[in-house]
Structure 1
Amino acid sequence: MPDFHVITPADHADKSWRPSPGYGFAARDTIAALVMQEIPRACLCLPVAFALTDDHYMPVAVQGLAQGQNLLVGADGRWLADYIPAVYRGYPFALARTNDDQTVLCFDHDSGLLQAGAAQGDSQPFFDAQNQPVERLRQILQFLSQVQANLPATQALCAALRQHDLIEPWAINIQGEDGQTTTLQGLFRVSETALNTLPADAFQALRESGALPLVYCQLLSMQHLQRLGALARAQAARAEALPQSPAGDLDLEFLNSGGTIKFH
């Protein structure tokens, strides 16, 4: 689990940090949160769905076909798709809210990327000699702030879809190597039937809300589920080619497990 700490001169002026060498930290993320600003690019290579969190819908990138599985992270930590969700591009940094509603920049102390002492090699300082954030830190804060600023608008678009009953459960059927079909549940999608039967005045209201790009991007993106299936088969084939452990316990059952995905 991440262990985020607020970045302050008192705690980090004498420390440095290294950029993440890959995306292994996301290897168990079945979904990743998205904001509307990035969805037109994300939908070109990632399946986009909706997840229900705290009684509101939010768009997410679908990255695996079983809980705890991210097929878009290679064994060496490389990202295997043409788009990387913004939530990962800021790691090991993240934003948090203080009790007095201030936004603060945090660093994951469990990332293995925090170093004691001055910056060396590819590591970078947090603060300069005057205890001011260095330029790179300001850039990261600006990027994460832009993503966070787009969150209310994204929530409003999803609320507009919900208001017009355009979101329906999306049960994803997966056929295993044995020919058996399992179903992943817990995701949602735009209902094409509801969209096509929407009254003219409701469609006009939806258009004016700015939600139509989200509708079409989500529908377009569903074709990319086939790529996840191909990645799952390739992963299984590579695992079968590996030598068995002494106990012979190379377990690939998670690729064919059903049940409900739980999102945290």
Structure 2
Amino acid sequence: MADNIQPLRSKEHAKTKIKNGLNVEFTKLQHLVPVVAHEFSRVANEYPLVFIKNGESGEFQPVVVFGLEPGENLFMKDDKWQGAYIPHALTRYPFVLSTNPNDETKLLVGINESSDLVNEDEGHALFDEKGEETDYLKRRKESLINFIEFSQVTAGFSKYLAEKELLIAQTLTLEIKGEKRDINGIHLIDEKKLNELSDEDFLDIRKRGFLGPIYSFLTSLHQINRLAKLKSEQM
């Protein structure tokens, strides 16, 4: 089903409610999902992290890997999430934050009305009888704003790694039931080059607060084997 994103308004959405849970139909098709540096430590405990490069802008984006091919999420089984942690990029749905076409300095909150979480019968109300925002909606909007702010910090983090030439193109090879499978088109943090940095550069990274995300990223690569195990179980 195509997304039907509409601006959130008290009049049009007076009776709208949001059910708890994930947008299943959307989530089970996501094999790569953007993550912010602030959640690297939690993601690294369960899932592998990699960087992908935008072919047009040349910018790098950290993503969590949920599947080995497009449209595959190995952490969804029987329409239920199998992990303990769910990245912000998935939990913020069915809400989105976008630039106001009439004023680019302002942001608009929208809602994906095609989401299976959106209805008028059950869940959390967005507006009360007076048309005022409920506490639930206020929390969701605050979470959206935080995600945007974290995304900006993460973009700076990614740009810094690229400028220091700490990102390296890599192919990861997995063995699944005796068959070799490659994950291409990804970039990893070059641990060797990281260890060769000058004391000045290393201190700069520490002062910027980047050491934590870097080490979490490197730790997450051990979760590649978990992907291979899940793939084998589902074949």
TM-score, scaled relative to structure 1: 0.80
2-structure distance, mates of 1:209, 1:153: 11
Structure 1 partner of 2:86:
84
Structure 2 partner of 1:18:
19
Aligned residue for 1:103, secondary structure, equals strand
Structure 2 partner of 1:34:
35
Structure 1 residues not aligned, in runs of 5+ = 237-264
1-structure distance, mates of 2:196, 2:43: 28
The answer as to whether partners of 2:11 and 2:131 remain within 8 angstroms in 1 is no
Aligned residue for 1:141, secondary structure, equals helix
Structure 2 partner of 1:254:
none
Structure 2 residues not aligned, in runs of 5+ = none
Structure 2 partner of 1:49:
50
Q: Which amino acid aligns with 1:128?
A: D
Q: Which amino acid aligns with 2:60?
A: Y
Structure 2 partner of 1:197:
196
Structure 2 partner of 1:181:
180
- In the TM superposition, residue 22 of structure 1 has moved relative to its aligned partner by 6.0
Paired residue total = 230
- In the TM superposition, residue 221 of structure 1 has moved relative to its aligned partner by 0.5
The answer as to whether partners of 1:20 and 1:92 remain within 8 angstroms in 2 is no
2-structure distance, mates of 1:58, 1:21: 23
Q: Say if 1:170 and 1:81 are closer, same or farther in 2 by CA, change over 3 A.
A: farther
The question of 1:210 aligning with 2:209 is answered yes
Q: Deviations over 1:177-231 (max 9, x none)?
A: 3x34232211111011211222222222222232222221111000001111111
Q: Deviations over 1:101-138 (max 9, x none)?
A: 322221111113333xxx54x33332112211111111
* Bigger relative contact order (CA 8 A; separation at least 6): 2
> Where does 1:1-264 land on structure 2 (aligned, <5 Å)?
1-20=2-21, 23-53=24-54, 54-74=57-77, 76-99=78-101, 100-101=103-104, 102-115=106-119, 119-120=120-121, 122-177=122-177, 179-236=178-235
2-structure distance, mates of 1:187, 1:15: 40
Aligned residue for 1:146, secondary structure, equals helix
2-structure distance, mates of 1:52, 1:228: 22
Q: Quote the sequence identity (%).
A: 23
- For the aligned residue pairs, the C-alpha RMSD in angstroms reads 1.8
Greater Cα radius of gyration, structure 1 or 2: 1
Q: Deviations over 1:59-87 (max 9, x none)?
A: 1111111122111111x221111211011
Q: Which amino acid aligns with 1:8?
A: R
Aligned residue for 1:105, secondary structure, equals strand
- In the TM superposition, residue 30 of structure 1 has moved relative to its aligned partner by 0.9
Q: Which amino acid aligns with 1:205?
A: D
The answer as to whether partners of 1:160 and 1:211 remain within 8 angstroms in 2 is no
- In the TM superposition, residue 14 of structure 1 has moved relative to its aligned partner by 4.0
The answer as to whether partners of 1:22 and 1:78 remain within 8 angstroms in 2 is no
Aligned residue for 1:11, secondary structure, equals coil
- In the TM superposition, residue 16 of structure 1 has moved relative to its aligned partner by 3.4
Runs of 4+ in 1 over 6 A off after TM superposition: none
2-structure distance, mates of 1:108, 1:49: 28
2-structure distance, mates of 1:153, 1:15: 33
- In the TM superposition, residue 50 of structure 1 has moved relative to its aligned partner by 1.0
Q: Say if 1:83 and 1:17 are closer, same or farther in 2 by CA, change over 3 A.
A: closer
